[in-house]
Amino acid sequence: MANVAVIGTQWGDEGKGKIVDWLSAQADIIVRFQGGHNAGHTLVVDGQVFKLSLLPSGILRTGKLAVIGNGVVLDPWALAEEIDAVSDRGVKISPENLLVAENTPLILSVHRDLDRIREANAGDARIGTTGRGIGPAYEDKVGRRAVRVADLADTITLESRLRRLLAHHNPLRQGLGADPVDPDSLMAALRDVAPRVLPFAGPAWKVLGKRFRAGDRILFEGAQGSHLDIDYGTYPYVTSSNTLAGAAATGAGLGPAAVGFVLGIVKTYTTRVGEGPFPSELHDGSGHHLATVGRERGTVTGRNRRCGWFDAVLVRQSCVTSGVNGIALTKLDVLDGMKEVKICVGYELDGEFIDDLPVASNRQARVNPVLETLEGWTESTAGARRWADLPAPAIKYIRRIEELIDCPVALLSTSPEREDVICVTNPFSSR
């Protein structure tokens, strides 16, 4: 089985964009299978920085098919803007290299409004959403009142969908002190944007099924991270979709057997954006070093990321829940120059050692990290492309991570540049 699924194993921002871009050289098709334009995948190609939120990272390579799967919630205006921005930089995008699943739910202005109103009214109970309407759009999908891509081509269906949608949203808006949405204005906005989206729409499941049977290599690209998963994340401080590898099948329209090798992206330390528990978070000079050297600022939100030591407990759980076969370790160079580095190997809760994060929020808030200290290194690892280029303490640190999470390193990224990767096991040729 030659296909590969790439997922984040922490709270997102692990460096999935670069790894997907690197792997896409070997793939025929790259599929985004969940999330919305709250994703922020940064790629550096020949010194140029690209920041993608909706377009699959493989769009930057010629001769590849990029697919936005039905597990995504799609803001059509955001998609049009991103296509324009990437096209202006010389990347050709057409129905030949971009396919949008016709059963993908849309994010509308009502979803963005509701997201922001709720967060503004939540006070201390806010969960730190991006305010882009992702959560409310998923709610409408489950509530069976979503407008989907295919509806843009059918006026009768679109009108019916909007009536049902607004029958829910307008009373809700009234209760929150917002004005009702005019259905004619929303219809006009959708008719206006439809020509930007419909040329790319099609039965993605059918295309992928045919290409899979023909032996094409498929790369499934996840967004966010395992501990933002709606079921297995630090609820309620989570995203609104399933971010685990199992979502690749339903979010693309292929069976589970098509997924193949699961590659977990793991940052050599831990970061988080927004609210929620963070046992290994740092508020000292080490945390400042990670934030500054790692340039830890949200690609989408612009918010500073919270930084902390590598949490082996969280990553070990991710390896189990997604069936991770190997990890891609990123940002090793950020640790260069630190006299010592630490790893969270467990938690202390009410005087007891535990080796998993409790589910209950109150218990999560009370855990303290149990840290193991390792020797740091002064040599630079930036740009290394061979194990022999790495200092011994860095290799020891990597081996300790493998041991603690019970999963081997397949790839090691040593800078943001596309080709600065040490390949231990090629996921596409591992089986």
Kindly list the catalytic residues: 13, 41
What span, in angstroms and rounded, lies between the C-alpha atoms of 59 and 77?
Answer: 18
Between strands 261-267 and 48-52, the pairing is unpaired
What span, in angstroms and rounded, lies between the C-alpha atoms of 425 and 423?
Answer: 6
Render 33-83 in DSSP notation, one character per residue. Answer: -SB-TT--EEEEETTEEEEESSS-GGGGSTT-EEEE-TTB-B-HHHHHHHH
What span, in angstroms and rounded, lies between the C-alpha atoms of 412 and 331?
Answer: 9
Specify which residues 101 forms β-bridges with. 202
Render 361-390 in DSSP notation, one character per residue. Answer: HHHHHH-EEEEEEEE---S--TT--SGGGS
Which of 392, 381, 393, 375 has its CA nearest to residue 422?
381
190: left (phi over 0), alpha (psi -120 to 50) or beta: alpha
In the Cβ-directed half-sphere of 198, how many Cα atoms lie within 13 Å? Answer: 11
As to burial, measured by CB atoms within 10 angstroms (0-12 exposed, 13-18 middle, 19+ buried), residue 267 is buried
What span, in angstroms and rounded, lies between the C-alpha atoms of 50 and 417?
Answer: 12
What span, in angstroms and rounded, lies between the C-alpha atoms of 203 and 205?
Answer: 5
What span, in angstroms and rounded, lies between the C-alpha atoms of 109 and 187?
Answer: 11
Structure-token pair, residue 201: 């729409």
What span, in angstroms and rounded, lies between the C-alpha atoms of 280 and 166?
Answer: 44
The single residue listed with the structure tokens 């944007």 is 193
What span, in angstroms and rounded, lies between the C-alpha atoms of 24 and 356?
Answer: 34
User: Residue 30: in which H helix or E strand, if any?
Assistant: strand 29-32
What span, in angstroms and rounded, lies between the C-alpha atoms of 390 and 414?
Answer: 10
Cβ neighbours, 10 Å, residue 110: 25
Backbone angles phi, psi at 405, to 5 degrees: -95, -5
The single residue listed with the structure tokens 């790629």 is 43
Q: 291: helix, coil or strand?
A: helix
